[in-house]
Amino acid sequence: MRESLLPLLIVLLPQVTLASLQLGVPVLAPAFVAAIGMPPEAVGVIGGLIGFGSVWLFAANRAFTPVLGPLRALTVACGIAAAGAAVMLTGLWVAVFAGAVAVGFAYGVTAPAGS
């Protein structure tokens, strides 16, 4: 039991982090778009772009996760998600949309890397 707990935590922690970020951005989006002066409709666009990033990774996964390996893919995904969230904080519309795609792309790694 004890020898299987560490690998479980190594895989579970990045997955929980990425899922929290992926689900947290749309929850915070109404306050976020109001603060940077975007129209309220942009909340749906941000959520849609996160979904687009996830689907994009699912389509491109063949060139990503098998090459890096699952743990390294999760590590890279955490870096991509952090960079995407940081880019979103700039407040520029294009940067917010690009950051949303990056967060979705990073979240898309969790299913293939976890299996």
Which amino acid, one-letter code, is at 100?
A
Q: Using the predicted structure, report yes or no on whether residue 33 has a pLDDT greater than 80.
A: yes
The Cα 52–Cα 70 span in angstroms is 21
What per-residue confidence (pLDDT) applies to 79?
A: 92
Do 100 and 53 touch, CB atoms closer than 8 A?
Answer: yes
On average, the pLDDT of the chain sits at 86
Choose the most confident range, by mean pLDDT, from 26-30, 83-87, 108-112: 83-87
Q: Using the predicted structure, report yes or no on whether residue 53 has a pLDDT greater than 90.
A: yes
What per-residue confidence (pLDDT) applies to 87?
A: 93
Do 33 and 91 touch, CB atoms closer than 8 A?
Answer: no
The Cα 71–Cα 78 span in angstroms is 11
DSSP string, 82-114: HHHHHHHTT--HHHHHHHHHHHHHHHTTHHHHH
* pTM for this prediction: 0.84
What percentage of the chain exceeds 90 in pLDDT?
Answer: 22
Q: What is the pLDDT of residues 71-100, one digit of tens each?
A: 888 889 999 999 999 998 888 888 989 999
What per-residue confidence (pLDDT) applies to 1?
A: 62
The three-class DSSP label of residue 64 is coil
pLDDT average, residue stretch 104-114:
85
